[in-house]
């Protein structure tokens, strides 16, 4: 049998799988005949796991065992804003794992985010296999264009856990453009406006007969259709509390019902001018009387609730056009992607902004998976008929002194690309150097996403300034970052994929695969119809009332004290490994790991010479030397300034595990809080 590869759109709310064959692209339906499946994972008593719209219907009954919108959490640090926000609104438990990672606690087991995504991918794989009648092992998986390296890597790990070889991590808007323009012999400049459940992406592309070149991409990973729901929920909950004095947010079951009703109402507003929301018996008042929620919402009223969010998307569009050096008049078309773009208010706003009627001939829910499948099939065919030239969405930066981060590769630079910077040692006979790598658009290091840190050791020992080390930063076609270092004189080389601080090590992934939880994903097929659960209830256009939970499981008292089945695996790294994960105690404040940039072009050497210390400086009151205060040498000097106080602190004084734990308990999101524990120990 010929080799096949599928395309999977792994969405925040919905996922979709497609396959491209010589005779066309086919979106593969699941056993219920649905072309998309909710990205919801339900953990049933007894161990069975289900994914999809039936799982989504479970949220109301067992909120603590049903995981949704997990894509918002993948590749994030536990202390990030997004995780805090999710903790406030999600009904499942979000806990902290090793290395500031995020884990989900479901009953007595903890799952990492790549595992949850793997379960969804597994479902899509099995849906495809059921349809095709044979095994599928290769796939292209899409991510929002604005995803950073941590999120891309975690998604790739998810593929591996699901038993898929991920041929390519593809940007969603690029996939959409491919699906729109492939094989049509177009020469056009287009914008892809992709508003999903949780993310907004805009990409500007130039499509040629056989080449798809992304000119720019911008996005907002905190903006999507779910935020529209929140606006409506706020309105309804506030009104309810004013009229009845009952706070629906305090009651998880009432709140879930409210959420379902709000989303249904929003969706119906893409068809009707006005909808009625009716939830009978949503709550009881103090007197024990049963209360119902009833409210009419007109499209225009809804539009005014969310208009500022819509306007925010156009700010991002402005930026993308500016980066592409184009105006809306230069564009030949605008392609809509994502569920919320079905709303008339979005269509007309997009039409106004781009001064053209948006293209709606491709289904906004399926276009991404279709594009992914086209790319998948062209990757396994030796003679390829269209190729993609994509860009990196975020600037790649290196930490320098003073808490700053300097650009090495600007955002919207085409990939694959590689850039080299030369550094020198800071101390006589220095043995190791360390580099922090960030992604983001801020000069302030901590305002960017930390990708990890990279250590290079074992090079020639010499007087300070004599060893020259070339550090090469590469971004591949998946958008993944790789850093290598090389001693110029000896050619001795060390390299690593950046060690993900909150990600999974190879060993952890192997353990997860061994444990085989994703194999518990049960995909119903048409044959075992006896087992077919009722498809997700699609409420009639008007009443969005959900039945009260029948045999409702109590809200999760869950395993606060229960033993964690999955022991936290220690971070990878055999003894003697040169690569140190970010959060391993003891790696933060080495006394001898400062580097100096020899060929700095953007930053005066005075700021350059100590970039490994940018975070520590803030938490180090005992450091008497204000870095910025030093006079800048006239020329990029190889000669470093005097070592600073903390540079003589012995390595042994670094924090141990217990100290790290202590800091994890502290409030605050400032990165330095987490990384300078050695200073406080």
Partner 1 sequence: MSDVLAPTEILALANILDELDYYQVLHIRPDASASAVRSAFHQSSRAFHPDSNRHLDADHRQAIGRISKRITEAYTVLRDPRRRRAYDEALRGGRTRMQIAEAEAGARQQATDELEGKTPNGRRYSAMARTDVARGDLAAAVRNLQTALTFEPANAHFKTKLQELKGQLEEERRKKRPAPF
Catalytic residues: 9, 71, 172, 194
Q: Which of ligand ATP, partner 1, Mg ion, none has residue 152 at its interface (CB below 5 to 8 Å by kind)? A: none
From candidates 4, 5, 10, 11, binder to Mg ion by CB under 5 A: 11
CB nearer to Mg ion: give 219 or 571: 219
**Distance between CA atoms of residues 608 and 297, nearest Å:** 57
Q: By C-alpha distance, which of 681, 679, 605 is closest to 645?
A: 679
Given ligand ATP, Mg ion, partner 1, none, residue 14, with its beta carbon under 5 to 8 Å by kind, binds ligand ATP
Footprint (CB under 8 A) of partner 1, residues 404-433: 407-410, 413-421
Helix axis angle, 113-132 to 506-515, nearest 10°: 50
**Applying CB under 8 A, does 632 fall inside the site for partner 1?**
no
Q: Which residue, 301 or 628, has its beta carbon nearer to ligand ATP?
A: 301
- Sketch the per residue contact string, 87 through 116, with Mg ion: x for CB under 5 A, - otherwise: ------------------------------
The per-residue DSSP string of 547-609 comes to PPPTTPPPP--TTSSSPPSSPPPPP---TT-S---TTSTTSS--TT--EEESS-SSS-HHHHT
> For strand 188-195 and strand 333-337, is the pairing parallel, antiparallel, or unpaired?
parallel
Q: Pick from 211, 311, 562, 568 the residue near partner 1 by CB under 8 A.
A: 211
Nearest CB to ligand ATP, comparing residues 271 and 489: 271
Q: Are 446 and 619 in contact (CB under 8 A)?
A: no
Look at the alpha carbons of 249, 252, 258, 262 in this order and tell me if their dihedral is positive or negative. positive
Residue number with CB closer to Mg ion (71 or 160) = 71
| Beta carbons of 16 and 35 less than 8 angstroms apart | yes
Q: Are 43 and 29 in contact (CB under 8 A)?
A: no
Nearer to partner 1 by Cβ, of 105 and 179: the residue is 179
Closest to 388 (Cα-Cα) out of 402, 372, 399 = 372
266 touches ligand ATP by CB under 6 A: yes
Residue 492 near which of Mg ion, ligand ATP, partner 1, none (CB within 5-8 Å, type-dependent): none
Q: Which of 5, 6, 8, 14 contacts ligand ATP by CB under 6 A?
A: 14
Residue 30 and residue 52 in contact, taking contact as beta carbons nearer than 8 Å: yes
Phi first, then psi: give them for residue 417, nearest 5 degrees.
Answer: -150, 160
Measured from the CB atom, the residue of 11 and 503 that comes closer to ligand ATP is 11
- Other beta carbons within 10 angstroms of residue 574's beta carbon come to 6
231 in contact with ligand ATP (CB under 6 A): no
Residue 26 contact partner, candidates Mg ion, ligand ATP, partner 1, none, CB within 5 to 8 A by sort of partner: none
Q: Taking CB under 6 A as the rule, does residue 270 contact ligand ATP? A: yes
Q: By rule CB under 8 A, what string of x and - marks binding of each residue 162-201 to partner 1?
A: ------x---------------------------------
Report CA-CA distances (Å) from 367 to 11, 180, 203, 336, 490.
12, 8, 15, 9, 51
- Token output for 320: 């993308």
* Smallest gap from residue 522 Cβ to ligand ATP (A): 22
Nearest-approach distance from CB 475 to partner 1, in angstroms: 9
Under DSSP, the state recorded for 15 is E
**Would you give the distance in Å from CA 4 to the centre of its chain?**
27
Q: How far apart are CA 148 and CA 478, in angstroms?
A: 11
| CB of 12 vs Mg ion, minimal distance in Å | 7
CB of 199 to Mg ion, least distance (A): 7
> Taking CB under 5 A as the rule, which mask of x and - marks residues 193-232 in contact with Mg ion?
---x------------------------------------
Two tokens, residue 455: 């250590």
Closest contact distance (angstroms) between CB of 176 and Mg ion is 9
Return the closest-CA partner of residue 49 out of 103, 123, 102. 123
Task: Please count the residues of this chain forming the interface with partner 1, following the rule CB under 8 A.
Answer: 31
> Binding of ligand ATP at residue 267 (CB under 6 A)?
yes
* Of residues 346, 279, 147, the one with CA closest to residue 543: 279
Give min distance, CB of 532 to ligand ATP, in A.
23
User: Of 674, 656, 650, 679, whose CA–CA distance to 590 is shortest?
Assistant: 650
2 belongs to the binding site for partner 1 (CB under 8 A):
no
384 near partner 1, judged by CB under 8 A: yes
Quote the CA–CA distance of 321 and 330 in Å, as a whole number.
10
Q: Which of 479, 383, 374, 388 is nearest to 6 (CA)?
A: 374
Q: By rule CB under 8 A, what string of x and - marks binding of each residue 334-353 to partner 1? A: --------------------
Residue 622: DSSP 8-state: T
Residues 6+ apart with CB under 8 A from 23: none
* Residue 7 found at the interface with ligand ATP (CB under 6 A): no
Work out how close the CB of 328 gets to ligand ATP at its nearest, in angstroms, rounded to a whole number. 23
Which residue lies nearer to ligand ATP by CB, 197 or 619? 197
Q: Is 174 in the site for ligand ATP (CB under 6 A)?
A: no
Q: Does 378 bind partner 1 (CB under 8 A)?
A: yes
Cα separations (Å) of 395 from 121, 398, 510, 569?
Answer: 29, 10, 32, 32
Residue from 97, 197, 452, 600 binding ligand ATP (CB under 6 A): 197
Point out which residues bind partner 1 (CB under 8 A). 168, 208, 210-211, 213, 378-379, 382, 384, 387-389, 407-410, 413-421, 474, 476-477, 599, 601-602
User: Where does this chain bind Mg ion (CB under 5 A)?
Assistant: 11, 196
Residues in touch with ligand ATP (CB under 6 A): 11-14, 39, 71, 172, 196-199, 224-226, 263, 266-267, 270, 338-340, 342-343, 365
């Amino acid at each position: 049998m010929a080799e096949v590869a599928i395309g999977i759109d792994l969405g925040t709310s919905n996922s979709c799988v497609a396959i491209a064959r010589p005779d066309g692209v086919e979106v593969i339906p699941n056993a219920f005949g649905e072309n998309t499946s909710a990205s919801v994972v339900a953990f049933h008593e007894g161990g069975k796991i289900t994914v999809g719209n039936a799982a989504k219907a479970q949220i109301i009954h067992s909120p603590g065992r049903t995981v949704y919108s997990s894509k918002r959490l993948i590749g994030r640090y536990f202390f990030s804003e997004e995780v805090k926000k999710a903790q406030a609104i999600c009904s499942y438990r979000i806990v902290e794992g090793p290395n500031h990672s995020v884990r989900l606690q479901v009953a007595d087991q903890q799952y990492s985010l790549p595992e949850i995504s793997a379960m969804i991918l597994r479902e899509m794989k099995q849906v495809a296999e059921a349809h095709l009648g044979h095994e599928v092992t290769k796939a292209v998986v899409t991510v929002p264009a604005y995803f950073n390296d941590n999120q891309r890597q975690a998604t790739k790990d998810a593929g591996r856990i699901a038993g898929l070889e991920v041929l390519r991590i593809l940007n969603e808007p690029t996939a959409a453009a491919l699906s729109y323009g492939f094989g049509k012999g177009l020469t056009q400049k287009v914008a892809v406006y992709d508003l999903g459940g949780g993310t907004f992406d805009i990409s500007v592309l130039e499509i040629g007969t056989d080449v798809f070149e992304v000119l720019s991409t911008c996005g907002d990973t905190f903006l999507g259709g779910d935020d529209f729901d929140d606006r409506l929920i706020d309105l309804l909950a506030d009104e309810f509390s004013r009229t009845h004095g009952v706070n629906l947010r305090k009651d998880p079951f009432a709140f879930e019902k409210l959420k379902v009703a709000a989303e249904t109402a929003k969706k119906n507003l893409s068809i009707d001018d006005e909808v009625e929301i009716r939830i009978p018996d949503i709550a009881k008042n103090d007197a024990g009387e049963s209360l119902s929620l009833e409210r009419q919402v007109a499209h225009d009223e809804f539009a005014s609730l969310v208009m500022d969010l819509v306007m925010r998307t156009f700010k991002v569009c402005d930026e993308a056009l500016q980066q592409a050096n184009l105006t809306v008049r230069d564009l030949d078309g605008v392609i809509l992607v994502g569920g919320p773009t079905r709303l008339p208010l979005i269509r007309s706003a997009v039409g106004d902004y781009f001064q053209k009627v948006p293209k709606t001939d491709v289904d906004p829910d399926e276009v991404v998976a279709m594009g992914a499948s086209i790319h998948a099939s062209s990757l396994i065919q030796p003679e390829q008929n269209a190729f993609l030239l994509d860009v990196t969405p975020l600037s790649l930066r290196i930490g320098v002194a003073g808490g700053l981060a300097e650009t090495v590769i600007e955002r919207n630079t085409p990939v694959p690309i590689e850039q080299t910077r030369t550094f020198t040692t800071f101390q006589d006979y220095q043995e190791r150097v360390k580099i922090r790598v960030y992604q983001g658009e801020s000069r302030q290091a901590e305002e960017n996403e930390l990708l990890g840190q990279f250590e290079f050791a074992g090079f020639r020992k010499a007087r300070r300034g004599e060893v020259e080390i070339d550090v090469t930063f590469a971004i591949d076609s998946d958008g993944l970052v790789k850093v290598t270092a090389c001693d110029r004189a000896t050619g001795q080389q060390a390299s690593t994929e950046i060690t993900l601080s909150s990600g999974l090590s190879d060993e952890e992934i192997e353990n997860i695969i061994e444990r085989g939880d994703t194999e518990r994903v049960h995909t119903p097929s048409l044959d075992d119809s006896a087992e077919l659960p009722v498809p997700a209830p699609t409420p009639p256009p008007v009443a969005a009332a959900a039945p009260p939970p029948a045999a409702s499981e109590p809200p999760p008292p869950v395993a606060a004290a229960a033993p964690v089945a999955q022991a936290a695996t220690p971070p990878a790294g055999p003894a003697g490994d040169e690569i140190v994960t970010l959060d391993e105690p003891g790696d933060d404040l080495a006394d001898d790991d400062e580097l100096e940039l020899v060929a700095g072009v953007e930053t005066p050497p005075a700021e350059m010479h100590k970039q490994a210390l940018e975070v520590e400086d803030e938490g180090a009151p005992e450091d008497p030397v204000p870095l910025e205060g030093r006079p800048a040498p006239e020329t990029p000097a190889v000669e470093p300034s005097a070592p600073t106080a903390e540079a003589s602190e012995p390595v042994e004084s670094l924090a141990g595990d217990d100290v790290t734990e202590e800091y994890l308990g502290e409030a605050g999101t400032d990165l330095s809080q987490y990384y300078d524990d050695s200073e406080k120990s």
